[in-house]
A and B are shown apart, each in its own frame.
Chain A
Amino acid sequence: MTRMHRATTATALAAGLTLLAAPAQGQLGSYNPPPGPQKTFAITNARIVPVSGPEIASGTIVISGGKIQSVGASVAVPSGADVINGAGLRVYPGMMDAGTSIGLSEIGQGANATVDISETGSFNPNAMAYYGLNPHSAHIGVTRVVGITHVITRPTGGILSGQAALVNLAGSTAPQMAVVRTLASVIELPRTGFGGRGFGGFLAAQNAGSTQDVNRTRQRQLDSLRTMLRDAEAYGKAMDAYAKDKSLPRPKPDVVLASLVPVVRGQMPVLMVADRATDIKEAVGFAEENKLRPIIVGARDAWQITSFLKDHDVPVLITSVMDLPTREDDPYDVNYSAPAKLAQGGVRFAITSGDAGAETRNLPYTAGMAAAFGLSKDDALKSVTLWPAQIFGVADKFGTIEPGKIANLVVTDGDVLEAKTTTKYLFIDGRLVPLESKHTDLNDKFKDRP
């Protein structure tokens, strides 16, 4: 029986994993130590924040087989468990950033060879983030150590950008990391009218021609999209019919249309990128017209149309909490306070870092900022744990500390949304994850250099 009663022992355990891992250095993205095995762990004497219910002032969580087995104030520690004494520490469910492109782009500027975030062309519904994901991206190691344990990473660009994946931030291969390889399709509808998107948007508007030209182009693009969706619907019907009756003509296989069949059947949600109120309404209208299940990404001005979003039961992933206001006369806190207004308006939402990769680790502080401007602290925590899981229909696996869920947990010395809080232990998929990253590695190498 291996029982460790002291936190320091478990630290040694984590360190041991690193030594075994001995990551190769000097190559882009080779810094993330692999997690340990799925063993039986018990975190005892900890303040537990289950999110699903009230805090447990001092309790025990038992993990085995990658799942949370039990949680409570008086839970027995199974024999053979590795015990982590959580006295003075807090345990939270691992956080989820539902709006990143982490792992798809390492260095955005000046290193194009590391960027696999967008395909060429406008219609790539079958492009899978799963295949662009670099498990060895250094972004992953530095992101998870703040307690972000799983993310939705999505392709961008074009009109049908591709398919987003739900991945755990631990593992040496995409198959090890992926929880759902194709969770949602991404649509970036062409925007209505002019404006926005900074200097680039200004230039684009300058070069776009007249209002009529812009609208004509947009209508053409929307028509192409509609046609493709209808083709996918027909393709799905033809395939189903052929499967039942082989005497029918065999439809020509088409990997592009095949990827859209679950989308047009409403089985797979669609991430629709939109920030302005008119664009959000337009996206929802398009989704309803085409029987899609929309989730709005961006959602900067969603607070202006909360009753619309509530009436249409459309959830949003807000990426702009930390953005500067877009209009000179906007209140200074217009984006900080947007989540509070969404909550008041009864809109289902999740807060995301709004970052493609390297800065995803700011997710907890982004939620914290929303709490500084009107959102309750409990809701701020839910907006990065339970609510994104619910929006994507994976709350049976993630989002709270409850038996049966995937054991993604973070053990901290303070409030997990506070910037000064330090992570003490990290579990992903029921595995203890070493707290090393590219950044701790360089810190260790240089901090005592004479």
Chain B
Amino acid sequence: MKQTLPLLAALTLVVGSLGAQAKPVATGAGATLIKNATVLTVTKGTLSNADVLIQNGKIAQVGANIAAPAGATVIDATGKFLMPGIIDPHTHMMSDAINEGSLSVTSMVRIQDILNPTAVNIYRALAGGVTSINILHGSANTIGGQNATVKLKWGENVEQMMFPGAPPGIKFALGENVTRKNQNQIVIPGQPTTRRYPVSRMGQEEVVRDAFTRARDYKVTLDEYKARAAKGEKNLVAPRRDLELEPLVEVLEGKRLVHAHSYRSDEMLMLLNLADEFGFRIQTLQHGLEGYKIASEVAKHGAGLSSFADSWSYKIEAYDAIPYNVAILARHGVVTTINSDSDERIRRLNIDAAKLVRYGGLSEEEALATITINGAKQLGVADKVGSIEVGKDADLSLWNNHPLSVYANVDKTFVDGKVYFDRQQDLAMRDQKAKERADLEKAEANQAPGNRRATQPVIPQEER
């Protein structure tokens, strides 16, 4: 390993500064009253000068002139806009690894096993009004790993962040990332450069067909065993548990949601038809940039679409992407969302949603739905989040301007009624954080090699 010392110094500084962002704020007595906001409920219209009462982490009341319960924290939101927390159906945030790409079917691996709850991008996403995310396995293989649906409870551990009651899901992927047409341009040390089946869209179909043929057979074995056990047969030997096929059986039983990365309309249609043949449903086409070419077929199957607002042309299969995609599918009755697939873009999904008003003429409420309630539907949690309705989780974001305006920024973000981002608090803490940083930089361990001692340490030749 070369340059061990500077690297270690850099790591030390990073470790020293973990937690430099603001910590969540506990609100008083479990109750918070947000007063006099413009409330964008998304499902029940827009309410002017309205109040929202949060109790026990839930939305307890929505309306005019709500009286503050004793001990409640009251937030004057005059001139501000309250919307449901933003839901991003496609991220790789917090992930220490994204792909287990060694095999074409890795349904046995789980994203929830490799999540880092201290990833600072959680905080940055909260600052963009995001409260729930779907963390997907990467797109290296046709059938990838199991996803994790997470609430962005910054400062808490992974178990506390897992979205309670969210149905499990799995990532599928089709197209260029799977067939690795570009692999000779992406050199990652340690990764094999040999080709892995499949290298064509023909092979992709076969991989899914083969996997579900085996899963169907496994399910027959399981069902036969259960039926015989139910009849009270003695001395039965249970079938060997198959961690690869188990999640696929759950897909066949409608208990696990399929999120399928796909770009070209032909590969999407292949998958929809294959799913129809095997009797399961694709929950979402992820990206689905050419979904507009087969809008009727997507609607007929009942798949949702989670797409980019306007990203395109970054690779061949994205060259026919158009920003009208979401609007066209929405008009065909498809549940559509905007996703980020990026720790950067996730911070400004509100602007991406606003683009749908321009491209395709969605109403402002329809545009907001693509980053709130529709995401909740795609992740199977619409009974809990995605709109401002009594009884739902108090996952909310408060903005200083209409959230579809580029001039808007987030004042506060609540998850389960608790403030996890507060701009005023963040601003107030900056001087203290700057001092902390300066102190850390002065520490000897963080000095550049040349400054640490009179002379630079000599790195032994064999270690270089």
Contacts and interface: CB of A to CB of B under 8 A. Distances in A.
B20 A328 contact: yes
A412 to B, nearest CB: 10
A120 interface: no
Nearest to A207: B2
Interface stretch (B52-60, B387-395, B403-411): B403-411
Interface of A: 28, 106-112, 138-139, 194-195, 203, 205-211, 322-325, 327-329, 331-333, 336, 357-359, 361-362, 364-365, 368-369, 371-373, 377, 417-422, 438-440, 442-443, 446-447, 449-450
B331 A447 contact: yes
Interface in B397-418: 401, 404-409
A329 B446 CA distance: 15
A142 to B, nearest CB: 8
Interface of B: 1-3, 6, 10, 14, 17-18, 20-21, 120-121, 123-124, 127, 176, 181-182, 185, 189, 292-293, 295-296, 310-316, 319-320, 322-324, 328, 331, 343-344, 347-348, 351-352, 354-355, 357-360, 364, 367, 401, 404-409, 426, 430, 433, 437, 449-450, 456, 459, 464
Given A323-B344, A443-B322, A368 B407 contact: yes
A332 B456 contact: no
Given A194-B3, A210-B459, A357-B313, A329 B328 contact: no
B181 A449 contact: no
A32 to B, nearest CB: 14
Contact of B14 (A107, A328, A417, A419): A328
B315 A108 contact: yes
A373 B409 contact: yes
Contact of A331 (B295, B404, B430): B430
A419 B182 contact: no
B264 to A, nearest CB: 13
B10 A195 contact: yes
B322 A442 contact: yes
**Shortest 9 CB-CB contacts between residues of A and residues of B:** A368-B406, A329-B20, A420-B357, A419-B354, A358-B313, A443-B324, A329-B17, A439-B322, A109-B315
22 contacts: A106-B313, A109-B314, A109-B316, A110-B181, A110-B185, A110-B316, A111-B315, A206-B3, A210-B2, A211-B449, A328-B17, A328-B18, A329-B21, A359-B311, A371-B407, A372-B407, A372-B408, A373-B409, A446-B328, A447-B331, A449-B295, A449-B296
B296 A110 contact: no
Contacts of A449: 293, 295-296
A422 B358 contact: yes
B162 to A, nearest CB: 24
A216 to B, nearest CB: 14
A333 B320 CA distance: 33
Given A208-B2, A211-B6, A443-B322, 10 more contacts: A107-B316, A108-B314, A110-B315, A211-B450, A327-B17, A371-B407, A372-B406, A419-B352, A419-B357, A442-B322
A327 B449 CA distance: 20
A211 B2 contact: no
A28 B316 CA distance: 11
Contacts of B313: 106-108, 138-139, 357-358
Contacts of A209: 2, 464
Contacts of B401: 372
Nearest to B291: A446
A421 B449 CA distance: 53
A417 B344 CA distance: 20
Contacts of B354: 418-420
A273 to B, nearest CB: 20
Contact of B406 (A107, A208, A418, A438): A418
A110 B183 CA distance: 9
A206 B2 contact: yes
Contact of B124 (A206, A324, A417, A440): A324
A144 to B, nearest CB: 14
Contact of A110 (B20, B176, B407): B176
B433 A417 contact: no
Contacts of B1: 206
A323 B343 CA distance: 10
Residue in B14, B189, B348, B433 whose Cβ sees the most chain A Cβ within 10 Å: B348
B406 A211 contact: no
A198 to B, nearest CB: 12
A331 B426 contact: yes
Contacts of A206: 1-3
A28 B320 CA distance: 10
